[in-house]
Amino acid sequence: METQIVPSGACVIGKQKDVRLEAFLGTCVGLILWDQEANLGGLLHILLPEATGTDIAFQPETYASTGVPLFIQAMIEAGASIDRLKASVAGGAMVGPVSDEDLFLNIGGRTTEVVQAILDENGIPVNRAETGGYFSCKLTLNLNDLKIGIEPIHKFVVDLPETDHEKPTPADIDNAIQQVRPIPQIALKIIRMIQDDDCTMSEIGEEVRQEQVVSAKTINLCNSAQFSLKSRVGSIDHALVLLGEKRLLMLVVSASLETIYSESSQGYSLCKGGIFQHALGTAILSGELAEFTGRSDPDIAYTAGLLHDIGKIPLDQYMTSAAPYFYRAAHEEGAELCNMEKERFNITHPEAGALLGERWTLADNLIDTIRHHHRPEEATVDKDLVTLVYLADLLMSRFRVDHEFERLNTDKIDKSLKRVGLSPDHFPIIVDRIPRSIFQYSQTTG
């Protein structure tokens, strides 16, 4: 059966097709409507309860208040009867660990309330609802038989038997860090030029063209859903015309680091390449937040977001065997990732990442971000930069939940928002400004 991923802000309707619709839900809410007699069903993936009135382009399917009525009308136009429609609702989770200061937690709850109110107004009964809670889930609809599924994203890991696992020694960790392949020199050169705000394509363009692997990966990244360019890129020169120097250089760095991030789907990742995809999304969002708040250079914020999880590279081999423990501790105790890493590995991925950053001779502000991105209040070099990456990381872990296992401590979110000039009222606005390209998937998978 063909699988089609329905991203946030999208709706898919179909009839008797050998297609399975899927939506990965954290704080987002998924709504399925179906008419058994008409053999018709559809899935809507909702980001927020209502529009925030910002200057971004209005996409009605993104919001419950506008998307659900449009979804109902589209179902009727496709052949469904309002009297026969039934619904299933999932998502709207808190996605812990949680605290009294989790200012964003009501977003999912409010979205669910708006969805339910509109369904009630239209007399559409809810056949199944699994909303709220603390964990992300996958909502599925098979269009050929209208069979619906709701299951935890991490279920496959939780069900695995836990194997004996010895804590790695400091020597083991040091050896794992030493075994990480060196950062490509072209990426290191660009990162240093960005720090000095003296970054031009003319100085390194020829190097990019000569690095065939990096060049090919850069072109592939240009053509990926995350950057959704209007025309397909065929060469570095073509990309330069479409993107401009600064943005292309960011993609060169990203493509260079893709070769370093682990490709496994057994440890931190929930899918092949999940660590890199999470890092790339965090980078894009860090740059957007830097521009929105004016508290950091967007290029530096992008770079810091891209590098924030490099400590997972040497630890991923240990995470693979310990994954069942991590997922059970998260489900049963609501434990935070760094606390579990410290207990199991004697080191956290921010600490391991800082050691790797020092080995790569990264700038102090980047190492500071890597070391403190889970606890920005402890930053010592550039708290604004670290805070922006923390917020971007938090948003990615709540609204794009299918890439990797990530549980951040959120008890300092109030202070983090204030640190960069934001208030609790800004949080929905920040969510609304997440670039929609971050939510995009390939049209089909598997």
Q: Contact 138/23 with Cβ under 8 angstroms? A: yes
Of 160-174, 237-251, 295-309, 388-402, which gets the smallest average pLDDT? 160-174
Q: Contact 124/82 with Cβ under 8 angstroms? A: yes
What is the model's pTM?
Answer: 0.87
Predicted pLDDT at 226 = 73
SS3 state of residue 403: coil
pLDDT in tens, 390-425: 999 988 888 887 777 777 777 777 788 899 998 877
Query: Would you place residue 350 in the very low, low, confident or very high pLDDT band (cuts 50, 70, 90)?
Result: very high
Q: Are strands 137-142 and 147-152 parallel, antiparallel or unpaired?
A: antiparallel
Taken as a whole, the chain contains a residue count of 446
Residue 370 vs residues 306, 308, 348: alpha-carbon distances, Å? 10, 5, 11
- Evaluate if residue 143 carries a pLDDT over 90: yes
Residue written as tokens 């790569």? 360
- Domains, the chain, with CATH or none: 2-153 (3.30.1330.200), 170-439 (1.10.3210.10)
pLDDT in tens, 225-239: 777 677 788 888 888
Q: Contact 302/283 with Cβ under 8 angstroms? A: yes
Q: What angle do CA 26, 297, 366 make, to 5 degrees?
A: 75
Mean pLDDT of 130-147: 89
SS3 state of residue 91: strand
- Evaluate if residue 351 carries a pLDDT over 70: yes
CA distance 304 to 366: 6
Rounded mean pLDDT of the chain?
85
CA pseudo-torsion sign 154, 265, 361, 169: positive
Query: Would you place residue 301 in the very low, low, confident or very high pLDDT band (cuts 50, 70, 90)?
Result: very high
pLDDT in tens, 206-218: 777 777 778 888 8
> What is the enclosing helix (H) or strand (E) of 404?
none
Residue 72 vs residues 29, 32, 168, 191, 321: alpha-carbon distances, Å? 16, 10, 54, 49, 46
Distance of CA 49 to the CA centre of its chain: 20
Predicted pLDDT at 162 = 59
Residue 293 vs residues 155, 314, 332, 419: alpha-carbon distances, Å? 38, 33, 37, 10
Cα radius of gyration rounded to whole Å, the chain: 22
Give, to the nearest 10 degrees, the angle between helix 274-293 and helix 245-258: 150
- Evaluate if residue 137 carries a pLDDT over 60: yes
Predicted pLDDT at 443 = 38
Better pLDDT: 214 or 361: 361
CA distance 388 to 419: 9
Q: What angle do CA 15, 19, 25 make, to 5 degrees?
A: 105
